[in-house]
A and B are shown apart, each in its own frame.
Chain A
Amino acid sequence: MITYLVRRLAISIILLAIVSLLSFAIIRFAPGSKTAGGEEMSPKKLAAAEEARRAKYHLNDPWYSQYFLVMKDLFSNKLVDYNDRPVHEQIVDRLPWTMLLNAVSLVLVFGMGIPLGVAGARFRGGWRDTSSAVGAFFLLSLPGFFVSYMLCILLVKYIYVPILGVGTFGMQFSSWWQQALDTGWHLFAPALVLALPGVAVQSRYVRASLIESLSEDYIRTARAKGLSESVVYYKHALRNSLRPMVTFFGFLLAGMIAGSVIVETIFSYPGMGRLAYEALSKRNLPVLVAINFYSAVLVVMGNLLADMLYSVVDPRVRLE
């Protein structure tokens, strides 16, 4: 177990080194301007100002030394963006919000995806199965931004759920639990939008693994004991679906930042996705390099965590 972990961590570090080099190279070698506009307006001084900026941020250095500089700054906590604001400070501000959003959406995914998948497996071949399958593809095909706006119209016009930001203006003077309730209320819409494709994928996984386990002896035993169908499905058969759930959890962790770019931008949610969007609009490359790196860290961590959890949910899996 310990040796497995050490080996996996070593592989992960090598992988991350390659990934960071790859993503840096892709950003670095893509044609296009690498500096943000700057504040200099006079056309006479523009070229000189641009040159000064390039020198200041080492953009004239060869690419490998740029890569090492960025990585050194990243690890020594000194990376600043083109406005000289520390990148880590921005990420520390934003990351907890994205984690909160994804945690709420994870609850929604399991809460809706599992019953849908069970319905598909239980009534397979019937109209409920077909509609659960078509429904899953429907959710998968829904563009996040489209459903966000539909939700906005619905919520603003009829249900009065707040759709922007994470807190009502003026609420900062209320007690902490009122603020927490307020934030939870604000989280509803973005978390729902973020969860929908996940519900689709999760329901398909659950259905497939349930069908696989239905022919097992322990299911026949459970039925023979006279247990109700719901207990057979939710308590006995669903154990077999723990593995795909773990897989999904790994995916979710891995895609946490990339997945929330659109949703966070629409709902003005102060998370990592919106940070990426803001950095993109201003060509703030140090922030983008950092976000891409941390996203890759999340992917590697997600894979590692999923592999470790497999052995927890399924004792037959041995880590070697």
Chain B
Amino acid sequence: MVEPAKTFGSSLAEGLDVQTTRMRPGFVVRFRRRRVALLAFWFLMVLFFVAVATFITSRLGIHIPFDPDAQNMSQRLSPPGWPHVLGTDQFGRDVFARILNASYISMFVGFLAVAIELALGVLVGAAAGYFGGWIDNVLMRLVDALLCIPSFLLILTLVAIVSPSIWVIIAAIGVLSWMELARLVRAEFLTLREMDYVAAARALGVPAWRIILSHLLPNSLAPVLVSAVLGVAGAILTEAGLSFLGFGVQPPQASWGNIITDGKTYLLDAWWLIIWPGVAILLTTMAFYLTGEGIREVLDPKEGKRI
């Protein structure tokens, strides 16, 4: 048996080394057969490495290949070439360095926002699904009400009022997008709580929180994991959209969205200011979607080989 933790990076290993009925030992083997999903997964691994490396080196003051904030007016708006591989912007800043520098911002927003989403969604969904009754009723009506608010509009409003910064974006995305996850967890719990082993645990006098933590949660991890992976893609796209509208990460800190905003003035003359950050967003979100879809199909016994 291959240990899933060995092949999956540390971030996913937490969820995967738990043995469940749905995650049969062949998970990694079956995931590997999906070439597109596997490619997407390795792309993400490389991206994590680049993001973490850029974060650490930029904090240490080492800039590879250039300082993302260093201006050079004699080199402004130079097309892709050498030494500026992806060209320079209107201040002569290196576009490649800025895109690298923005990569950890996107990862940061994506993962932290999903962490908040997970915490809230699992908490609410678990409480509603396990206890049922009036708790379920109240929580689910709250979820219904929150789902009626178009989230992008409200996130935008919230971020614009509170003054845009990366923490506000993370909080706004996380706090306003956990509802689907809560529904998912609740649905899983509703079926799982009727299982014999739960009845047995209850008969033995195991407290509710321990039944939830050690019996129900591990068994509903699979759909939650998929939803979380897809959620990261959604959060990265939302952040890019907010930054693009000027309500996101504020300059001079580069973000994939605000590089495009800055570059749009030079749309017809300097295409490289738009294309490269756009491609970065596109590839990253697509890799998350494809990985998530790959995991979902591997875990879903009904589906045949797809991607």
Contact = CB atoms under 8 A, between A and B. Distances in A.
Nearest to B306: A133
A130 B160 contact: no
A125 B305 contact: yes
Nearest to A144: B241
A114 interface: no
Contacts of B237: 141, 143
B148 A258 contact: no
A267 to B, nearest CB: 12
Given A137-B290, A262-B244, A292 B156 contact: no
A228 B289 CA distance: 35
A312 interface: no
Contacts of A138: 282, 286
Interface in B2-42: 36
Contact of B278 (A125, A150, A295): A150
Contact of B304 (A125, A262, A296, A300): A125
Contacts of A295: 149-150, 153
Contact of A280 (B156, B162, B264): B156
B150 A258 contact: yes
A76 B237 CA distance: 38
B57 interface: no
Interface residues of B, number: 50
Interface in A269-303: 276-277, 280-281, 283, 285, 288, 291-292, 295-296, 298-300
Nearest to B34: A130
Contacts of B289: 137, 140-141
Contact of B154 (A26, A129, A140, A285): A26
Contacts of B293: 133, 137
Contacts of A261: 152-153, 156, 245
A160 to B, nearest CB: 14
Contact of A149 (B147, B245, B260): B260
B86 interface: no
Contact of A152 (B245, B267, B278, B307): B267
Given A146-B278, A257-B150, A137 B286 contact: yes
A32 B304 contact: no
B245 A143 contact: no
A43 interface: no
Contacts of B150: 254-255, 257-258, 292, 295-296, 298-299
A19 B278 CA distance: 35
A129 B290 CA distance: 14
B160 A280 contact: yes
A265 B306 contact: no
User: Interface SS of chain A: helix, strand, loop or mixed?
Assistant: helix
A143 B145 contact: no
Interface in B115-161: 141, 144-154, 156-158, 160-161
A133 to B, nearest CB: 6
B240 interface: yes
A64 interface: no
A31 B158 CA distance: 9
Nearest to A12: B148
A281 B246 CA distance: 9
B153 A276 contact: yes
A19 to B, nearest CB: 5
Interface string B269-307: 001001101100111011001100100000000001111
A292 B155 CA distance: 11
Contact of B148 (A19, A125, A130, A291): A19
Contacts of B285: 140-141, 143
B163 A143 contact: no
B96 interface: no
Contacts of B264: 149
A9 interface: no
A130 B161 contact: no
22 contacts: A23-B149, A26-B154, A26-B158, A32-B162, A130-B307, A138-B282, A140-B289, A143-B244, A143-B282, A143-B285, A145-B240, A145-B257, A150-B278, A153-B267, A156-B268, A262-B244, A280-B156, A280-B247, A283-B161, A291-B153, A292-B150, A292-B153
Given A125-B304, A140-B286, 13 more contacts: A19-B145, A22-B149, A23-B149, A23-B154, A31-B162, A125-B305, A141-B233, A143-B240, A146-B260, A150-B278, A152-B267, A292-B149, A296-B149
